[in-house]
Structure 1
Amino acid sequence: MLEIKTITVSYEIATALWDVSLSVKEKDIVSIIGSNGAGKSTILKTISGVIHPIKGTISFQGKRIDHLQPHQIAMLGISHVPEGRKIFPHLSVIENLKMGALPLKDQKKEEEILAYVFDLFPILKERENQPGGTLSGGQQQMLAIGRGLMAAPKILLLDEPSLGLAPIIVDSVFDVIIRLNREGQTILLVEQNAYRSLEISNYGFVLETGRIVLEGETSKLIDDPHVKKAYLGG
C-alpha cells in the first residue's frame, strides 16, 4: 500500500534520514520506534509532503507521491495527525473536525464520519461547540485523531499520540487505535511508548540516528535483545 525506498532527507546542512526503506500493508498497524531525535517524525512529514526527500522514492497504491504537495497527498487518502496535536485553539470542536473533512468534498459522507468520530469520542460530541483550546490535553488528542479521520483516510499517520497524556488517557487512545484497525483502518504509528506500540502492531521498524537498524514482526522485535535493552527497559 505504502512503499518507501531508500529515501534520504536533509534539513539544510544536517541529514535527518539515511537510505530509509519501509512498507505498510493494507489494514496493518506498522510501528516506528526509536529515541528522541532519531528521525521518526521526519518520516511521517516526508510521507505527507511537508518535507521532500533529496533521494529515493515514496509510492502510495502504486503512485509516486514524493514530489507532491501536502494537499495533493491528503486528497489521495493519507491523513497525518502530527505530534503536538496542532488543533485550531480558537475554533470550536465541530469546526476543527470539519477542517479535517476538506479533502472529502462529500456532505453526506462527512456527516457519516462525524457521527463515527462522535461514537469513538463521546466527549467531543458533548463539547462540540467549545473552543478546541479549552479542552484538556487528552481531549485535544482525541480531537486531533478525529480530525484526521474526517477525510476518510486510506492510511492514518499517527505521530506520538500518547505523548504527555495521563496513563488512563493513554489506555483510551490505544483502545481507539486498536478499534480503528479492527474496523479496517491502516495505520503507521510513531510512538515513544515502544512496548505499547509494538504490542498492538503487526510489524515494526527500529530507527536510530536516521537509519533503520532493525525490522520485523513485532512479536519478534519485543523479544530482540537490543530492543529490550534500548527501548523496553529490559
Structure 2
Amino acid sequence: MRPYSPPIRIVVGLLSALLVVAAPVACRKPAQPSEAYTQAHKRFGKLYGEKGDDAFLDPALAEVESLLAQVPADSLDAPAAQELRNRIQTGKQQAAAHEKAREEARAQAREPGPGSTGFGSDTGSSAPAPSGSEPSDEGSNDGTDDADAGTGTGVPGVGTPEAQLASSGCFQKGEPLEVKGRGRRDRWELADRPACRQQYASLQDQALIIEEGKVLAQVPKSSIQAIPVDGGTGPTPDAGR
C-alpha cells in the first residue's frame, strides 16, 4: 500500500498563509528616539535649574511644551514625553496656587483689622521687644557676628527656606502672627547686629512671614501693624465690631 501524503496544493497554501501573516511583523520598523523630546528635556532641565519652581510660570516653558507635542506616539521617547508633560502641568498648577497665596497674604497683611493695634501681639507693640540676652551676646561674641553674617548664600526673599534663615546667624524668630484668613504663621526678622544690618540692609524694616517651611511673603513692618489676632483665646462675641 502506498503511504498517504497531503496534496502538494495544501502544503503550498499553508506556507503562503504563514508568509502573509509574518510579512507585517518583518516589515515593521523598530521604535526610534525623538529629537524633539531630547531638545524639550534639555531646555526644561536648563530652565528649571536656573529658576526652580518659578520656571513653571516662565513664558519660555511654552517652547518646551511645543516640542513635546511634536514627539510621535510610536516614538521610543513617547512615555517619557508624556511624563514630562504631566509634570509641567502639575507644576504650573502648583506654582499658580502659590503665587495666588502670596498675593493674598500681602493683601491681608496690609488690610486694617478691627480690635488690633499691634503687629501680631496682644500688647499692641509694633515689633517684639529685644530679649535681654541680645546685648550681652553682641558684647561677648568679640567680632564673631561678621562670621555669622557670612554664612548666608544671598538676601532672603519669597521662597527662601526657613532653615536658611535660622542657619544664617542674622535672623531671629519673632512672635507668631495670626494672619486673617490663613491662621497662625511664624515670623522672622533681621537681628539687631551691626554686621547683619550691613549685609542685609534692605531687610532692616521687613518682616518675613513663613508658611510650610518657606518665606511666604516679605512685607514692611509699618504696613502690617494691623493684622487681626485672637490672642489664643478664641473668638469673642464682639470680635467683629
Bigger-Rg structure (1/2): 2
What TM-score results when the alignment is normalised by the length of structure 2?
0.23
What TM-score results when the alignment is normalised by the length of structure 1?
0.24
Structure (1 or 2) with the greater strand fraction: 1
Structure (1 or 2) with the greater helix fraction: 2
